[in-house]
Amino acid sequence: MGSPHWKRLCLLLLAGLTSSLLLYSHYHATVEAPSSPRIIASLLQPGPLVLAPSGTPQGAGSHRWALGGSLESGNSLKPSAELEEPEPSRKQPSPCLHSVMARAKADPTFREIFHFNTPVLMWDQHFTLETWNRLKTRHVPYGWQGLSLAVVGSTLQLLNASANRQLFDRAAFPGGCVRCAVVGNGGILNGSRQGKAINSHDLVFRLNGAVIKGFEEDVGTKVSFYGFTVNTMKNSLVSYEEYGFTQVPQGKDLKYIFIPSDIRDYIMLKSAIQGSPVPEGSDKGDDPQKYFGLEASAEKFKLLHPDFLQYLTARFLRSELLNTQYSSLYMPSTGALMLLTALHTCDQVSAYGFITANYEQFSDHYYEVEKKPLVFYANHDMMLEAALWRSLHRAGIITLYQR
Protein backbone atom coordinates (compact mmCIF):
# COMPACT_ATOMS: atom_id res chain seq x y z
CA MET A 1 0.00 0.00 0.00
CA GLY A 2 1.48 3.40 -1.00
CA SER A 3 2.09 6.13 1.49
CA PRO A 4 -0.65 8.49 0.12
CA HIS A 5 -3.28 5.73 0.44
CA TRP A 6 -2.18 4.96 3.97
CA LYS A 7 -2.44 8.62 4.99
CA ARG A 8 -5.87 8.86 3.39
CA LEU A 9 -7.06 5.78 5.30
CA CYS A 10 -5.82 7.24 8.59
CA LEU A 11 -7.66 10.49 7.95
CA LEU A 12 -10.90 8.63 7.17
CA LEU A 13 -10.61 6.58 10.36
CA LEU A 14 -9.94 9.71 12.42
CA ALA A 15 -12.93 11.50 10.88
CA GLY A 16 -15.18 8.51 11.61
CA LEU A 17 -14.04 8.32 15.23
CA THR A 18 -14.64 12.06 15.71
CA SER A 19 -18.14 11.85 14.24
CA SER A 20 -19.00 8.90 16.49
CA LEU A 21 -17.84 10.77 19.57
CA LEU A 22 -19.86 13.84 18.61
CA LEU A 23 -23.01 11.79 18.05
CA TYR A 24 -22.49 9.95 21.33
CA SER A 25 -22.06 13.24 23.20
CA HIS A 26 -25.13 14.74 21.54
CA TYR A 27 -27.24 11.72 22.44
CA HIS A 28 -26.30 11.86 26.10
CA ALA A 29 -26.82 15.61 26.19
CA THR A 30 -30.36 15.38 24.85
CA VAL A 31 -31.75 12.07 26.04
CA GLU A 32 -34.54 12.41 28.63
CA ALA A 33 -35.10 10.54 31.85
CA PRO A 34 -37.81 7.88 31.97
CA SER A 35 -41.35 9.06 32.65
CA SER A 36 -42.44 9.38 36.27
CA PRO A 37 -45.97 8.91 37.67
CA ARG A 38 -48.47 11.37 36.20
CA ILE A 39 -49.40 13.39 39.27
CA ILE A 40 -46.36 15.57 38.74
CA ALA A 41 -46.23 13.29 35.83
CA SER A 42 -43.99 12.85 32.85
CA LEU A 43 -44.58 16.51 33.17
CA LEU A 44 -42.01 17.40 35.74
CA GLN A 45 -39.05 15.94 33.91
CA PRO A 46 -36.08 18.18 33.24
CA GLY A 47 -34.59 18.02 29.79
CA PRO A 48 -35.00 19.47 26.31
CA LEU A 49 -38.51 20.27 25.17
CA VAL A 50 -39.08 19.90 21.44
CA LEU A 51 -42.43 21.38 20.44
CA ALA A 52 -42.02 21.86 16.70
CA PRO A 53 -39.46 21.21 13.96
CA SER A 54 -36.72 23.77 13.66
CA GLY A 55 -36.80 26.12 10.70
CA THR A 56 -35.65 29.44 9.34
CA PRO A 57 -38.05 32.18 10.48
CA GLN A 58 -40.03 33.94 7.80
CA GLY A 59 -38.64 37.37 7.15
CA ALA A 60 -35.25 36.64 8.70
CA GLY A 61 -33.73 36.03 5.30
CA SER A 62 -34.54 39.58 4.25
CA HIS A 63 -31.97 40.97 6.70
CA ARG A 64 -28.22 40.73 6.39
CA TRP A 65 -25.82 40.87 9.30
CA ALA A 66 -23.54 43.90 9.16
CA LEU A 67 -20.34 44.41 11.13
CA GLY A 68 -20.68 44.21 14.91
CA GLY A 69 -23.91 42.23 14.77
CA SER A 70 -25.98 45.13 13.42
CA LEU A 71 -28.78 44.82 10.91
CA GLU A 72 -29.14 46.97 7.86
CA SER A 73 -32.68 47.65 9.05
CA GLY A 74 -31.21 49.58 11.97
CA ASN A 75 -31.83 47.00 14.71
CA SER A 76 -28.76 45.85 16.57
CA LEU A 77 -28.04 42.88 18.76
CA LYS A 78 -25.61 42.98 21.64
CA PRO A 79 -22.35 41.16 20.95
CA SER A 80 -22.44 38.06 23.12
CA ALA A 81 -19.04 38.79 24.65
CA GLU A 82 -20.31 42.11 26.03
CA LEU A 83 -23.48 40.69 27.54
CA GLU A 84 -23.78 40.25 31.28
CA GLU A 85 -24.74 36.81 32.47
CA PRO A 86 -28.54 36.56 32.77
CA GLU A 87 -29.44 37.83 36.18
CA PRO A 88 -30.94 35.23 38.52
CA SER A 89 -34.47 35.71 39.75
CA ARG A 90 -32.93 36.79 43.06
CA LYS A 91 -29.58 38.58 43.34
CA GLN A 92 -29.10 37.49 46.94
CA PRO A 93 -30.57 34.81 49.16
CA SER A 94 -33.88 35.93 50.58
CA PRO A 95 -33.94 36.88 54.29
CA CYS A 96 -37.31 35.08 54.49
CA LEU A 97 -36.81 31.88 56.49
CA HIS A 98 -39.78 30.05 54.99
CA SER A 99 -39.46 31.25 51.41
CA VAL A 100 -40.49 29.38 48.27
CA MET A 101 -36.83 28.82 47.52
CA ALA A 102 -36.08 27.40 50.96
CA ARG A 103 -39.08 25.09 50.92
CA ALA A 104 -38.40 23.93 47.36
CA LYS A 105 -34.79 23.10 48.20
CA ALA A 106 -35.96 21.13 51.23
CA ASP A 107 -38.34 18.99 49.17
CA PRO A 108 -36.77 15.86 47.59
CA THR A 109 -38.86 16.16 44.42
CA PHE A 110 -39.07 19.88 43.82
CA ARG A 111 -35.42 20.59 44.58
CA GLU A 112 -34.63 18.82 41.31
CA ILE A 113 -37.28 20.72 39.36
CA PHE A 114 -36.85 24.35 40.39
CA HIS A 115 -34.00 26.26 38.73
CA PHE A 116 -34.18 29.69 40.33
CA ASN A 117 -31.38 31.07 38.17
CA THR A 118 -33.49 30.86 35.00
CA PRO A 119 -34.17 34.44 33.81
CA VAL A 120 -37.85 35.24 34.23
CA LEU A 121 -37.99 38.35 32.04
CA MET A 122 -36.61 39.18 28.61
CA TRP A 123 -35.11 42.63 28.13
CA ASP A 124 -32.75 44.55 25.86
CA GLN A 125 -29.50 43.10 27.19
CA HIS A 126 -30.61 39.55 26.39
CA PHE A 127 -31.00 40.28 22.68
CA THR A 128 -27.80 38.90 21.16
CA LEU A 129 -26.99 37.21 17.89
CA GLU A 130 -26.43 33.99 19.80
CA THR A 131 -29.88 34.28 21.44
CA TRP A 132 -31.58 35.03 18.12
CA ASN A 133 -29.97 32.03 16.42
CA ARG A 134 -30.96 29.78 19.30
CA LEU A 135 -34.55 30.96 19.78
CA LYS A 136 -35.42 31.18 16.09
CA THR A 137 -35.48 27.36 16.07
CA ARG A 138 -38.37 27.19 18.58
CA HIS A 139 -41.91 28.29 17.87
CA VAL A 140 -43.64 30.85 20.06
CA PRO A 141 -44.08 31.13 22.98
CA TYR A 142 -40.85 29.15 23.52
CA GLY A 143 -38.88 31.00 20.88
CA TRP A 144 -39.04 33.19 17.78
CA GLN A 145 -39.58 30.75 14.94
CA GLY A 146 -41.41 32.49 12.09
CA LEU A 147 -41.15 35.93 13.71
CA SER A 148 -39.63 39.00 12.09
CA LEU A 149 -36.20 39.87 13.41
CA ALA A 150 -36.99 43.54 12.86
CA VAL A 151 -40.15 43.37 15.01
CA VAL A 152 -38.60 41.36 17.85
CA GLY A 153 -35.43 43.46 17.89
CA SER A 154 -37.13 46.86 17.78
CA THR A 155 -39.47 45.82 20.61
CA LEU A 156 -36.76 44.46 22.90
CA GLN A 157 -34.63 47.57 22.40
CA LEU A 158 -37.35 49.56 24.16
CA LEU A 159 -37.15 47.30 27.25
CA ASN A 160 -33.88 48.87 28.32
CA ALA A 161 -34.55 50.11 31.86
CA SER A 162 -33.61 48.33 35.06
CA ALA A 163 -37.34 47.95 35.77
CA ASN A 164 -37.63 45.71 32.70
CA ARG A 165 -35.12 43.18 34.01
CA GLN A 166 -36.87 42.39 37.29
CA LEU A 167 -40.48 41.95 38.30
CA PHE A 168 -40.23 44.22 41.31
CA ASP A 169 -37.62 46.02 43.38
CA ARG A 170 -36.84 43.84 46.37
CA ALA A 171 -35.37 46.89 48.15
CA ALA A 172 -38.92 48.21 48.47
CA PHE A 173 -39.65 45.35 50.90
CA PRO A 174 -36.76 45.58 53.38
CA GLY A 175 -36.16 42.95 56.02
CA GLY A 176 -39.15 40.71 55.45
CA CYS A 177 -40.87 38.24 53.20
CA VAL A 178 -42.42 39.45 49.97
CA ARG A 179 -45.89 37.89 50.08
CA CYS A 180 -47.75 37.50 46.79
CA ALA A 181 -51.31 36.47 45.94
CA VAL A 182 -52.15 35.16 42.49
CA VAL A 183 -55.86 35.47 41.81
CA GLY A 184 -57.37 33.25 39.16
CA ASN A 185 -60.95 33.61 38.01
CA GLY A 186 -62.34 30.26 39.21
CA GLY A 187 -65.86 29.95 40.55
CA ILE A 188 -64.52 28.74 43.90
CA LEU A 189 -64.09 32.41 44.85
CA ASN A 190 -67.79 33.22 44.58
CA GLY A 191 -68.97 33.69 48.18
CA SER A 192 -65.47 32.97 49.53
CA ARG A 193 -65.04 36.33 51.32
CA GLN A 194 -61.30 36.17 50.68
CA GLY A 195 -61.02 39.83 49.64
CA LYS A 196 -59.29 41.03 52.82
CA ALA A 197 -56.87 38.12 52.80
CA ILE A 198 -55.95 38.81 49.18
CA ASN A 199 -55.48 42.54 49.81
CA SER A 200 -53.20 41.80 52.77
CA HIS A 201 -50.47 40.50 50.45
CA ASP A 202 -47.63 42.76 49.36
CA LEU A 203 -48.27 42.10 45.67
CA VAL A 204 -51.35 40.79 43.86
CA PHE A 205 -51.34 39.18 40.41
CA ARG A 206 -54.50 39.09 38.29
CA LEU A 207 -55.13 37.88 34.76
CA ASN A 208 -57.47 37.85 31.78
CA GLY A 209 -61.11 38.59 32.74
CA ALA A 210 -60.34 39.88 36.24
CA VAL A 211 -63.73 41.32 37.27
CA ILE A 212 -63.47 43.23 40.54
CA LYS A 213 -66.47 45.56 40.82
CA GLY A 214 -69.24 43.87 42.75
CA PHE A 215 -66.99 41.08 43.99
CA GLU A 216 -64.66 43.03 46.27
CA GLU A 217 -65.50 40.92 49.34
CA ASP A 218 -64.55 37.74 47.51
CA VAL A 219 -61.57 38.79 45.38
CA GLY A 220 -60.27 42.04 46.90
CA THR A 221 -59.34 45.21 45.05
CA LYS A 222 -55.56 45.29 44.94
CA VAL A 223 -53.79 44.84 41.58
CA SER A 224 -50.01 44.92 41.30
CA PHE A 225 -49.60 42.89 38.09
CA TYR A 226 -51.97 42.06 35.27
CA GLY A 227 -50.85 39.12 33.11
CA PHE A 228 -52.11 38.22 29.62
CA THR A 229 -51.46 37.53 25.98
CA VAL A 230 -52.98 40.04 23.59
CA ASN A 231 -55.31 37.27 22.45
CA THR A 232 -56.55 36.38 25.96
CA MET A 233 -56.88 40.05 26.92
CA LYS A 234 -59.02 40.89 23.89
CA ASN A 235 -61.07 37.72 24.15
CA SER A 236 -61.76 38.51 27.81
CA LEU A 237 -62.95 42.02 26.98
CA VAL A 238 -65.48 40.49 24.57
CA SER A 239 -66.47 37.33 26.44
CA TYR A 240 -66.84 38.84 29.91
CA GLU A 241 -68.17 42.28 29.06
CA GLU A 242 -71.63 41.21 30.23
CA TYR A 243 -70.14 40.38 33.64
CA GLY A 244 -68.49 43.76 34.03
CA PHE A 245 -65.04 43.26 32.51
CA THR A 246 -65.09 46.32 30.27
CA GLN A 247 -61.55 47.56 30.84
CA VAL A 248 -58.11 46.17 31.60
CA PRO A 249 -57.01 47.15 35.15
CA GLN A 250 -55.13 50.45 35.22
CA GLY A 251 -53.22 52.28 37.93
CA LYS A 252 -50.12 54.32 38.63
CA ASP A 253 -48.21 51.48 40.26
CA LEU A 254 -49.75 48.62 38.27
CA LYS A 255 -47.41 46.67 35.96
CA TYR A 256 -48.33 44.64 32.88
CA ILE A 257 -46.87 41.20 32.17
CA PHE A 258 -46.88 40.29 28.48
CA ILE A 259 -46.80 36.58 27.61
CA PRO A 260 -45.21 36.43 24.13
CA SER A 261 -47.46 33.85 22.48
CA ASP A 262 -47.51 35.44 19.03
CA ILE A 263 -45.98 38.22 16.92
CA ARG A 264 -48.94 40.43 17.88
CA ASP A 265 -47.69 40.50 21.49
CA TYR A 266 -44.37 42.00 20.41
CA ILE A 267 -46.09 44.49 18.09
CA MET A 268 -48.64 45.56 20.72
CA LEU A 269 -45.91 45.89 23.38
CA LYS A 270 -43.84 48.16 21.15
CA SER A 271 -46.82 50.37 20.37
CA ALA A 272 -47.82 50.48 24.05
CA ILE A 273 -44.37 51.73 25.06
CA GLN A 274 -44.29 54.29 22.25
CA GLY A 275 -47.89 55.39 22.87
CA SER A 276 -48.78 55.01 19.20
CA PRO A 277 -51.39 53.03 17.23
CA VAL A 278 -50.49 49.46 16.24
CA PRO A 279 -48.87 49.78 12.78
CA GLU A 280 -49.42 46.28 11.37
CA GLY A 281 -50.87 42.83 11.84
CA SER A 282 -54.26 41.72 13.12
CA ASP A 283 -54.40 44.62 15.63
CA LYS A 284 -53.51 47.30 13.06
CA GLY A 285 -54.90 50.70 14.04
CA ASP A 286 -55.64 49.67 17.63
CA ASP A 287 -54.76 52.19 20.34
CA PRO A 288 -52.84 50.56 23.24
CA GLN A 289 -53.56 53.55 25.48
CA LYS A 290 -57.18 52.44 25.86
CA TYR A 291 -55.89 49.27 27.51
CA PHE A 292 -52.87 50.50 29.49
CA GLY A 293 -53.56 54.19 30.10
CA LEU A 294 -52.23 57.45 28.67
CA GLU A 295 -48.93 57.46 30.55
CA ALA A 296 -47.75 53.88 30.13
CA SER A 297 -43.95 54.20 29.98
CA ALA A 298 -41.58 51.29 29.31
CA GLU A 299 -41.12 50.77 33.04
CA LYS A 300 -44.73 49.56 33.34
CA PHE A 301 -44.18 46.59 31.04
CA LYS A 302 -42.63 43.18 31.66
CA LEU A 303 -42.07 40.49 29.03
CA LEU A 304 -41.71 36.85 30.04
CA HIS A 305 -38.54 35.29 28.63
CA PRO A 306 -39.11 32.51 26.05
CA ASP A 307 -36.47 30.46 27.90
CA PHE A 308 -38.53 30.82 31.08
CA LEU A 309 -41.66 29.59 29.31
CA GLN A 310 -39.69 26.66 27.88
CA TYR A 311 -38.32 25.82 31.32
CA LEU A 312 -41.77 25.97 32.98
CA THR A 313 -43.32 23.72 30.36
CA ALA A 314 -40.47 21.23 30.27
CA ARG A 315 -40.05 20.91 34.03
CA PHE A 316 -43.43 21.65 35.60
CA LEU A 317 -46.13 21.15 32.95
CA ARG A 318 -44.86 18.69 30.37
CA SER A 319 -48.28 17.53 29.22
CA GLU A 320 -49.12 14.36 27.37
CA LEU A 321 -50.81 16.69 24.88
CA LEU A 322 -47.32 17.18 23.50
CA ASN A 323 -47.59 13.67 22.12
CA THR A 324 -50.87 14.36 20.28
CA GLN A 325 -52.05 16.26 17.23
CA TYR A 326 -52.43 19.33 19.47
CA SER A 327 -48.75 19.49 20.41
CA SER A 328 -48.09 22.69 18.48
CA LEU A 329 -51.04 24.40 20.18
CA TYR A 330 -50.22 23.40 23.75
CA MET A 331 -48.98 25.87 26.32
CA PRO A 332 -49.70 26.30 30.03
CA SER A 333 -52.70 28.48 30.87
CA THR A 334 -52.29 32.18 31.64
CA GLY A 335 -53.11 31.47 35.27
CA ALA A 336 -50.47 28.75 35.48
CA LEU A 337 -47.83 31.03 33.98
CA MET A 338 -48.67 33.84 36.42
CA LEU A 339 -48.57 31.48 39.41
CA LEU A 340 -45.24 29.99 38.36
CA THR A 341 -43.87 33.48 37.69
CA ALA A 342 -44.78 34.46 41.25
CA LEU A 343 -43.15 31.29 42.57
CA HIS A 344 -39.86 32.30 40.94
CA THR A 345 -39.86 35.87 42.20
CA CYS A 346 -41.81 36.13 45.48
CA ASP A 347 -40.94 34.70 48.91
CA GLN A 348 -44.37 33.37 49.80
CA VAL A 349 -47.20 32.68 47.36
CA SER A 350 -50.93 32.12 47.85
CA ALA A 351 -53.12 30.91 44.99
CA TYR A 352 -56.81 31.86 44.85
CA GLY A 353 -59.37 30.88 42.24
CA PHE A 354 -57.38 27.98 40.81
CA ILE A 355 -58.72 24.56 39.91
CA THR A 356 -59.04 22.21 42.90
CA ALA A 357 -60.02 18.56 43.34
CA ASN A 358 -63.70 19.50 43.85
CA TYR A 359 -63.88 21.95 40.94
CA GLU A 360 -67.15 20.43 39.71
CA GLN A 361 -68.94 22.01 42.68
CA PHE A 362 -68.23 25.50 41.37
CA SER A 363 -68.94 27.53 38.27
CA ASP A 364 -66.26 28.15 35.64
CA HIS A 365 -65.84 31.79 36.79
CA TYR A 366 -66.72 33.48 40.07
CA TYR A 367 -68.72 36.27 38.41
CA GLU A 368 -71.17 34.05 36.52
CA VAL A 369 -74.76 34.32 37.74
CA GLU A 370 -75.71 30.86 36.55
CA LYS A 371 -73.41 27.94 37.22
CA LYS A 372 -71.40 26.94 34.16
CA PRO A 373 -69.11 23.91 33.98
CA LEU A 374 -65.37 24.35 33.64
CA VAL A 375 -64.43 24.29 29.96
CA PHE A 376 -61.41 22.24 28.95
CA TYR A 377 -59.60 23.42 25.84
CA ALA A 378 -57.17 21.40 23.73
CA ASN A 379 -54.36 23.94 24.17
CA HIS A 380 -54.22 23.55 27.98
CA ASP A 381 -53.96 20.62 30.39
CA MET A 382 -56.02 21.77 33.35
CA MET A 383 -55.93 18.42 35.13
CA LEU A 384 -52.16 18.43 35.01
CA GLU A 385 -52.12 21.97 36.37
CA ALA A 386 -54.52 20.98 39.16
CA ALA A 387 -52.25 18.07 40.13
CA LEU A 388 -49.27 20.41 40.22
CA TRP A 389 -51.03 22.92 42.51
CA ARG A 390 -52.02 20.14 44.91
CA SER A 391 -48.45 18.81 44.98
CA LEU A 392 -46.99 22.26 45.61
CA HIS A 393 -49.55 22.85 48.36
CA ARG A 394 -48.73 19.54 50.07
CA ALA A 395 -45.04 20.43 49.93
CA GLY A 396 -45.76 23.78 51.62
CA ILE A 397 -44.40 25.70 48.63
CA ILE A 398 -47.71 27.46 47.93
CA THR A 399 -50.90 27.99 49.87
CA LEU A 400 -53.76 26.88 47.64
CA TYR A 401 -57.18 28.24 48.59
CA GLN A 402 -59.61 25.32 48.84
CA ARG A 403 -63.12 24.89 50.24
Positive or negative torsion for Cα 241, 243, 246, 248? negative
Q: Tell me if 162 sits within 8 A of 333, measured CB to CB.
A: no
Task: Report the alpha-carbon distance of residue 243 to residue 237 in Å, rounded.
Answer: 10
The amino acid that residue 324 corresponds to is T
Task: Report the alpha-carbon distance of residue 303 to residue 279 in Å, rounded.
Answer: 20
Q: Which residues contact 114 (CB under 8 A, 6 or more apart)?
A: 101, 104, 105, 315, 344
Tens place of pLDDT for every residue, the chain, 403 residues?
Answer: 444 444 444 444 444 444 443 333 333 333 233 333 333 333 344 444 544 333 333 333 323 222 233 333 344 455 433 333 344 444 455 678 789 999 999 999 999 999 999 999 999 999 999 999 999 999 999 999 999 999 999 999 999 999 999 999 988 888 789 999 999 999 999 999 999 999 999 999 999 999 999 999 999 999 999 999 999 999 999 999 999 999 999 999 999 999 999 999 999 999 999 999 999 999 999 999 999 998 788 999 999 999 999 999 999 999 888 888 878 889 999 999 999 999 999 999 999 999 999 999 999 999 998 898 887 877 889 999 999 999 999 999 999 999 9
Q: Tell me if 330 sits within 8 A of 140, measured CB to CB.
A: no
The amino acid that residue 106 corresponds to is A
Closest of 253, 281, 276 to residue 265, by C-alpha: 281
Coil, strand or helix at 54: coil
Q: Tell me if 267 sits within 8 A of 279, measured CB to CB.
A: yes
Pairing of strands 348-352, 179-183: parallel
Coil, strand or helix at 187: helix
Task: Report the alpha-carbon distance of residue 14 to residue 352 in Å, rounded.
Answer: 61
